[in-house]
Amino acid sequence: MTKSIRMFVLTTSGVALLTVAFSMAAIAISTAQRYTDLRRIEPIHGDAAAGAQKATLCLSCHGANGVSVAPTFPRLAGQRADYLYHRLVSFKQADSKDPYYSKSAMTALAAHLSDNDMRDLASYFATRIPQATDVAAAATASGRGEFLYRSGDPEHGVPPCQGCHGADAEGVNAPAAQYAAYPALRGQYGPYVIARLTSFRQGLPHDSSNDFVMSGVARTLDDDSIQAIAAWLASLAPTKSL
């Protein structure tokens, strides 16, 4: 079998696995008592200039212009506004005893934000220009990370990440509303990606349709796979999301 045919077969199988993951998520969502359905969201609009004035406290962790001061905090520069807004909403609405959100300083910070504040902050960070990737991160990347991201691993039930996050990890530029709330991952810090995937594998958080999908996907990944994907994403030059 030629390489091109093998890649086609693997990619096709990966898409089929992703379809199954979505179907399972839909069933789980239908029986959930409390969740946020992000599959039919309306585009968010905010005032980026107003957001800049409100972002002073955010910059202490997420850095000037949304470039984080530590790799455990996510890069926000150029991220999708829809994703950022709904992430803030999740923190704001979280129960103080939630096993995931109660451990984050973001929960207390978001509690005092109005809906307009969250829209403005999301719009502001979405307009920031991402900075170049750390050279050290590029040195740790492997071909396995790229392969898993693009093609998945059908033999082990792993769907391709690009199905929701885009072929080049810049997000999916599609009219379907469900894709707007999936983050761009290109150039994101490796330790942050590892922490998020590990939490998803543990079923945390579990309050949105995206969480249901990601929990199912993450449970197919072992530690080595998570680290490989994270290292490859971190090695990519950041760009603004599609």
Structural domains in the chain, sorted by start: 20-235 (1.10.760.10)
Main-chain phi, psi angles of 60, to 5 degrees:
-65, -30
- Least trusted range by pLDDT, from 73-87, 130-144, 161-175, 207-221: 130-144
> In DSSP terms, which residues pair with 158 in a beta bridge?
153
13 band by pLDDT with thresholds 50, 70 and 90: low
**Mean pLDDT across the stretch 53-60?**
95
What is the number of alpha carbons within 13 Å of residue 181 lying toward its C-beta? 23
Q: Per-residue pLDDT averaged across 6-17, rounded?
A: 49
Confidence at residue 16, expressed as pLDDT on a 0 to 100 scale: 54
Average the pLDDT over 76-95 and give the result. 96
What is the rounded CA–CA span in Å between residue 209 and residue 13?
23
Residue 27 in this model has a pLDDT that exceeds 70: no
Provide mean pLDDT across the span 176-188. Answer: 90
Give the pLDDT mean for 200-206: 96
The predicted structure's pLDDT at residue 208: 93
Banded model confidence at residue 26, pLDDT cuts 50, 70, 90: low
Position 174 scores a pLDDT of: 81
| Predicted TM-score (pTM) of this structure | 0.85
User: Which pLDDT score is estimated for 56?
Assistant: 94
Q: For residue 35, name the pLDDT band (cuts at 50, 70, 90).
A: confident
What is the model's pLDDT at position 152? Answer: 97
Whether 225 shows a pLDDT value over 70: the answer reads yes
**CA 21 to CA 44: how far, in whole Å?**
27
- The pLDDT value given to residue 21: 53
CA 160 to chain centre: 14
pLDDT value of position 142: 81
Q: Would you state the pLDDT for residue 135?
A: 57
Instruction: Check whether 29 has a pLDDT greater than 70.
Output: no
Looking at residue 3, its pLDDT comes to: 44
Residue 46's SS3 state is coil
Mean pLDDT within 138-147:
83
Query: Is residue 189 within 8 Å of residue 68, measured between CB atoms?
Result: yes
Query: Quick one: pLDDT band at residue 34, thresholds 50, 70, 90?
Result: low
Handedness of CA 92, 44, 72, 218 (dihedral sign): positive
